[in-house]
Structure 1
Amino acid sequence: MFFIGCSDLELEPEGSVFTEKQKEELTKVAPERLQAEVNGLYSGLIKYASISDWYGSTRHYDFGYAAAGLMFDASGQDMPSENSGYNWFRNSMRYTDRTAPSEITYFLWNLFYSHMKTANDILFTIPSDTSDPLLKAYRGQALASRAFDYLHLVQIYQFTYKGHENAPAVPIVTEETTPEQAANNPRATVQQVYDLIMKDLDEAINLLEGFSRTGKEMINQNVAYGLRARANLNMEKWNEAAADAEKAMVGFSPYTIQQVSKPSFNDINATSWIWGSDVSETNDIVQSGILNFPSMICSLTGNGYSPGYAGRYINQALWKSIPTSDVRKGWWTEPVWGKDEDGEDVIVDYKTPLVDMTWTTTYNNVEYGIIDWFGWNAPYLNVKFGPYQDQYNNPTNACDLPLMRVEEMILIRAEALAMGGNTSTGKQVLENFIKTYRDPSYICPVNDAKGIQDEVWKQRRIELWGEGFSLFDVKRLKKPILRKGINYPAPFSYDLPAEAPILLWLLPEDEINTNEAIDEATNNPVIAVPSV
């Protein structure tokens, strides 16, 4: 467990705790140190080798929040991938990481609680009643960051809010938690965690009023509204979710059809990105070569596991449901059919209108086409995420990472309006978005609230594919996992019922060993790995 201590800011006073006067003096004499802590909120999301000391070596999924998103998506039904030892997200796909000693659950726990510790350090230092505009902005960013962490933790280690309000979630650690309290800190209920999330976001939104950020890697009021929209959606507070999503959208516009008619989603400067990680060429995850998001998901990178060793594909049934008039159908390759020597139908090639299929490169005097060079192994392979600087075969994986896009907020608003009783407006919001920005021929096929909710879910599965939302959506909507009869590797081609216990990660063994209030009996249950 990560608790707050005054020494964390390397400015410990003579006493064992800060007085209010000492806190006030600290904020005056050490603004640079506070700025460094705030910067740490964002660098912590793209941290390289965070668990290397714990594990004893560097795991190739250890590159921050984007890896967590891939773990979530691998655990669902929309991102099939190879059953290969080179697939660093295979354990999440086959659910073998749902144990207390699992390195994956330790990685997830460490990712969010370490990030939260940075937020708590800042909150410990800045008085809640500060009137200084800069300190208010720092405090607002820290509160929203902590809410971001808990919003993930509560969904990783428990089922959705509705119907599970009193279920055990995760321990709550704030800037006021002492080491003694952290050592005996039981799992708070889902309701208690959401109460803190909402309290933090309410204050953050107030503190960030008028704050003008210098880069979209920073949290501003739009981002805080977007995070609260997500929380309200989970709690089925429909009117509040719709209102927050609308406020989060102000100043942003979706990718146009033309902009997503090529591999994209790699540049924080896109008008649709409300919040993202700004990744530089000198960042450790880039300098590592292949321990980064593009290495694992981009099918056009010149340096990575994807696609030759572990491609990321879409659920073929979902892909087939996308109309040909929808530009997003080209975000994944389609099979080209021919006949084998016996006259049987076989896949002979792959294609997509988004990629220049005439591209070639020469190596050792041999010319290679795009499929052979990059190792495209099967149809339905994603080309949604473009390579760095949109340059095919670029070995530098310095692509930025989307954390919140305006398209997500539009879809939240459409669902929330419909479920909140305003079905016609919700349907219109959905139709306007899809027709204007994705498929000019689109007509929402349903009129009732539940039907619109399911249609929005389908659009989320397509639009937000690969961005870490799919598992949480399945849990929120209490949907089954359906993998049979589609393009999953045979050992993982099984279905799971809604709220299958295997979907929950277990709290890590290290937490059990250091927190007296948590043991095997109070952890999530150990469930046998599913089989065909």
Structure 2
Amino acid sequence: MKKINNLFYILLSVTFMFFIGCSDLELEPEGSIFTEKQKEELTKIAPERLQAEVNGLYSGLIKYASISDWYGSTRHYDFGYAAAGLMFDASGQDMPSENSGYNWFRNSMRYTDRTAPSEITYFLWNLFYSHMKTANDILFTIPSDTSEPLLKAYRGQALASRAFDYLHLVQIYQFTYKGHESAPAVPIVTEETTPEQAANNPRATVQQVYDLIMKDLDEAINLLEGFNRTGKEMINQNVAYGLRARANLNMEKWTEAAADAEKAMTGFTPYTIQQVSKPSFNNINATSWIWGSDVSETNDIVTSGILNFPSMICSLTGNGYSPGYAGRYINQDLWEKIPTTDVRKGWWIDEEMQSPNVDMTWTITYNNEEYGIIDWFGWNEPYLNVKFGPYQDQYNNPTNACDLPLMRVEEMILIRAEALAMGGNPSSGKQVLENFVKTYRNPSYVCPVNDAKGIQDEVWMQRRIELWGEGFSLFDVKRLKKPILRKGINYPAPFSYDLPAEAPILLWLLPEDEINTNEAIDETTNNPIISVPSV
């Protein structure tokens, strides 16, 4: 028994430096010393000891300074998944920002990060493959046929986490599923991949990646049946259904997407009009949140001061880049299409630098001089967002410990509306959409179209508004094969250009480090190098 306990601790303590990509992952214990029987014995002894590994699935999404060793210093976008979401939104058409050295996401907005040596593509690759390594370590340890309830829950969370990673990777490095099923995506790494295989691991096709995503989520949903999580930072069956709804939406499996979205929604209700009549989206306890990152005041991304999501996007924080140095704005054309009866119009300030959602009477005294809200926070241009509230809803709070949304019930409602319409029932899809917007955002709303494609476009419009700043912009543009339209609105000159649908520059290149360590990938099998667009 002592020997088995020692082996268990060895298994959990074996760690390897993760430089980049799948080819550097140590995929099984050193020397492959564990047999299936030994693994079963290990997990039978004390399955709760795996809790630290499972916790790593969630801490890995809010990890601070993950590429500092590689880069040589800490980049100010290096604060986990929320930074990736800002990169995706900056690459779309709905989040203008200043052309400033303080804007840590300007390279994504300009597409200068679409090169193999790019630090951004390294960050994205490392973020998701490192997270996946944690999932694979758990899956290697827990047998697929375990009957232990706790181990089933751990395995289910790991499978759903891996699906989450691949669902991002396949959309970062290739175009959407439909029409690109045979296109090269990313290498597949599982708990069964050997180091030798990882060192010569070609890009799997989009279809192959989605096959694994669906396989993982199918098993995760079964394993998570009856699992009661202790916090919404953890993946449960609702989250797994939500991830599968996203995947089915991408694959245009409309019936399945609608059904999964409905199951994901169970037990959750949208923010009310009153709740979003002020800066919000900062608390995991909101009834709208299905899944989120629970950020504590002691987390490294918080104690760093300004290396976190609120610093970059909250226009009311007392400690950040936004808005005085690099604010996050909405596409002017999109804002003008939001009716005045819609509470969400107040998520951004108007041409007079006002918002009904903000206490415009707020003042602060500094050095015996009183400042109003506009001057103190440095609101310089209209259409600045005030969607995201400061920590504890306190204006000028210097602590940026806001929780981070990963999945909200509103997204699932919009998936269901689109999927019903495109799946042959546009009247039902329209009804779902109207019920949501009228009840929770705009009492005067009437969906202006009746046909399936028109409803899909109307849902996209609602997604652009509702999910602004939550990382969906680029993936929606790619999924729907829409152009990027930035000309003639509030994009600064270096970023003010249009791109056709599926412009090659939208794809990141696989990182140089992966090319150097994976024999199956080189410049000829990477995505094409595209010149940066000119204004």
Question: What TM-score does the superposition give when structure 2 sets the normalisation length?
Answer: 0.94
CA distance in 2, matches of 1:523, 1:127: 35
Please report the RMSD computed on the Cα atoms of aligned residues, expressed in angstroms. Answer: 2.2
Report the equivalent of 2:442: 439
C-alpha distance after superposition, 1:135-174 (max 9, x if no partner): 0000000000000000000000000000000000000000
Which shifted more, 421-430 or 348-357? 348-357
In structure 2, the CA distance between the partners of 1:198 and 1:348, relative to structure 1 (3 Å rule), is: closer
C-alpha distance after superposition, 1:102-128 (max 9, x if no partner): 000000000000000000000000000
Report the equivalent of 1:343: none
Asked if structure 1 preserves the Cα contact closer than 8 Å seen for 2:20 and 2:126, the reply is no
CA distance in 2, matches of 1:174, 1:436: 44
In structure 2, the CA distance between the partners of 1:387 and 1:6, relative to structure 1 (3 Å rule), is: closer
Report the equivalent of 2:140: 124
In structure 2, the CA distance between the partners of 1:273 and 1:6, relative to structure 1 (3 Å rule), is: closer
C-alpha distance after superposition, 1:160-208 (max 9, x if no partner): 0000000000000000011111000000000000000000000000000
Shift of 1:3: 11
Asked if structure 2 preserves the Cα contact closer than 8 Å seen for 1:6 and 1:17, the reply is no
Asked if structure 2 preserves the Cα contact closer than 8 Å seen for 1:69 and 1:466, the reply is yes
Structure 1 spans left out of the alignment, 5+ residues: 333-345
Shift of 1:366: 1.0
In structure 2, the CA distance between the partners of 1:348 and 1:128, relative to structure 1 (3 Å rule), is: closer
Shift of 1:41: 0.1
Shift of 1:516: 0.2
CA distance in 2, matches of 1:134, 1:463: 36
In structure 2, the CA distance between the partners of 1:67 and 1:519, relative to structure 1 (3 Å rule), is: same
Shift of 1:33: 3.6
C-alpha distance after superposition, 1:438-492 (max 9, x if no partner): 0000000000000000000000000000000000000000000000000000111
Residue aligned with 2:255, SS: helix
Structure 2 spans left out of the alignment, 5+ residues: 1-16
Residue aligned with 2:353, SS: strand
Asked if structure 2 preserves the Cα contact closer than 8 Å seen for 1:418 and 1:453, the reply is yes
Which consecutive aligned stretches of 4+ in structure 1 deviate over 2 angstroms post-superposition?
1-17, 28-33, 346-349
Residue aligned with 2:152, SS: helix
CA distance in 1, matches of 2:458, 2:84: 26
Asked if structure 1 preserves the Cα contact closer than 8 Å seen for 2:20 and 2:125, the reply is no
Asked if structure 2 preserves the Cα contact closer than 8 Å seen for 1:423 and 1:447, the reply is yes
CA distance in 1, matches of 2:85, 2:29: 40
Asked if structure 2 preserves the Cα contact closer than 8 Å seen for 1:70 and 1:466, the reply is yes
Shift of 1:10: 12
Report the equivalent of 1:338: none
CA distance in 1, matches of 2:257, 2:159: 19
Shift of 1:20: 1.3
CA distance in 2, matches of 1:360, 1:208: 49
Report the equivalent of 2:165: 149
In structure 2, the CA distance between the partners of 1:522 and 1:10, relative to structure 1 (3 Å rule), is: closer
Asked if structure 1 preserves the Cα contact closer than 8 Å seen for 2:20 and 2:513, the reply is no
CA distance in 1, matches of 2:209, 2:492: 37
CA distance in 2, matches of 1:490, 1:10: 45
Residue aligned with 2:371, SS: strand
CA distance in 1, matches of 2:18, 2:211: 20
Residue aligned with 2:30, SS: coil
In structure 2, the CA distance between the partners of 1:429 and 1:329, relative to structure 1 (3 Å rule), is: same
Report the equivalent of 1:460: 463
In structure 2, the CA distance between the partners of 1:4 and 1:308, relative to structure 1 (3 Å rule), is: closer
Report percent identity of matched pairs.
93
CA distance in 2, matches of 1:402, 1:193: 25
CA distance in 2, matches of 1:46, 1:265: 17
CA distance in 1, matches of 2:21, 2:487: 50
C-alpha distance after superposition, 1:403-452 (max 9, x if no partner): 00000000000000000000100000000000000000000000000000
Shift of 1:16: 2.6
Asked if structure 2 preserves the Cα contact closer than 8 Å seen for 1:494 and 1:531, the reply is yes
CA distance in 1, matches of 2:190, 2:18: 10
Asked if structure 1 preserves the Cα contact closer than 8 Å seen for 2:47 and 2:150, the reply is no
In structure 2, the CA distance between the partners of 1:31 and 1:144, relative to structure 1 (3 Å rule), is: same
Residue aligned with 1:211, SS: coil
Asked if structure 1 preserves the Cα contact closer than 8 Å seen for 2:314 and 2:388, the reply is yes
In structure 2, the CA distance between the partners of 1:365 and 1:5, relative to structure 1 (3 Å rule), is: closer
Number of residue pairs aligned between Structure 1 and Structure 2: 519
CA distance in 2, matches of 1:523, 1:2: 21
CA distance in 2, matches of 1:527, 1:465: 27
Residue aligned with 2:32, SS: coil
CA distance in 2, matches of 1:515, 1:348: 52
Shift of 1:12: 9.1
In structure 2, the CA distance between the partners of 1:513 and 1:12, relative to structure 1 (3 Å rule), is: closer
C-alpha distance after superposition, 1:41-66 (max 9, x if no partner): 00000000000000000000000000
Asked if structure 2 preserves the Cα contact closer than 8 Å seen for 1:311 and 1:381, the reply is yes
CA distance in 1, matches of 2:382, 2:133: 43
Residue aligned with 2:217, SS: helix
Shift of 1:31: 2.9
Asked if structure 2 preserves the Cα contact closer than 8 Å seen for 1:44 and 1:115, the reply is yes
In structure 2, the CA distance between the partners of 1:297 and 1:136, relative to structure 1 (3 Å rule), is: same
